[in-house]
């Protein structure tokens, strides 16, 4: 039988991660407007969501290596297939690059040793040891460089997301069951 939909696991990972990414971006845009006492909790929540997304990104990549995604309908043109592959692999890159740059920046934070991080306030989750113990000058440079990368990468994320959503909607409007490929249900 010709497979036209992603598996349930892929759908679950796709939508949980989509919600997590939107939440993290929304938090980052909103926390500058929060009252002082709420900024720290918002950033901590951002880190907890981001670390969860890193774990899910690993699961997702493993899923991807173990499965061939459903093939495209015959009507998809060559350039559309190429564009779609480029955007998908770009998004995989971002799924790792965003949390990793955030985690590295956070591990290089000068007060990291005195301010442990708790996953949604529960268990302590690790920072990257060799970065925490770097010579302070180098550690500060790592902090600033990866902080800048984290901030710049958000624009690549927005561009890829726009293309991803525009592509999906275009195919849907062309009459293909594009969204159904990634939607649970019948
Ligand atoms: C997919 C996951 C993530 C996304 C989409 C994301 C997105 C963002 C965005 C859009 C900003 C605002 C950048 C700016 O204003 O220039 C930001 C800031 C930040 N993120 Fe993330 N992030 C993610 C994961 C993480 C993780 C895992 C950590 C740390 C463990 C982290 C730590 C931070 C910190 C410390 C800031 C800067 C806060 C400040 O301005 O002081 N992020 N993030």
Note the pLDDT tens digit of each residue in 137-170.
Answer: 999 999 999 999 999 999 999 999 999 999 999 9
Alpha-carbon span 61 to 64, nearest angstrom = 5
Q: Return the closest-CA partner of residue 25 out of 60, 50, 57, 2.
A: 50
Which residue ranges make up each domain of the chain? 8-182
Query: Which residues, other chains included, contact 28 with Cβ-Cβ below 8 Å and sequence gap of 6+?
Result: 46, 154
Does the beta carbon of 47 sit less than 6 angstroms from any atom of ligand 1? yes
Tell me what the mean pLDDT of segment 64-85 comes to: 93
> Which pLDDT band holds residue 185 (cuts at 50, 70, 90)?
confident
Distance 60 CA to ligand 1 centre (A): 21
How many A from CA of 168 to the centre of ligand 1? Answer: 27
Report the topology of domain 8-182. Fumarate Reductase Cytochrome B subunit (1.20.950)
Nearest to 54 by CA among 128, 112, 122: 128
Count CA atoms closer than 13 A to 18's CA, side-chain side: 13
């Amino acid at each position: 039988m010709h497979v036209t939909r992603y598996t349930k696991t892929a759908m679950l990972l796709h939508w949980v991660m989509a919600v997590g990414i939107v939440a993290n971006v929304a938090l980052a845009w909103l926390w500058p407007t929060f009252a002082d006492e709420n900024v720290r909790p918002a950033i901590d929540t951002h880190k907890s969501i981001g670390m969860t997304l890193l774990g899910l990104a690993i699961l997702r990549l493993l899923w991807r290596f173990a499965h061939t995604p459903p093939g495209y309908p015959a009507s998809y043109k060559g350039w559309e297939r190429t564009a779609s592959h480029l955007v998908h692999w770009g998004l995989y890159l971002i799924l790792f690059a965003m949390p990793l740059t955030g985690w590295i920046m956070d591990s290089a934070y000068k007060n990291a040793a005195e301010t442990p991080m708790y996953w949604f306030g529960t268990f302590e989750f690790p920072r990257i040891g060799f970065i925490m113990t770097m010579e302070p000058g180098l550690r500060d440079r790592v902090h600033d460089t990866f902080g800048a990368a984290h901030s710049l990468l958000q624009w690549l994320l927005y561009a890829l997301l726009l293309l991803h959503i525009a592509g999906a909607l275009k195919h849907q409007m062309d009459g293909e069951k594009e969204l159904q490929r990634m939607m649970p249900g019948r």
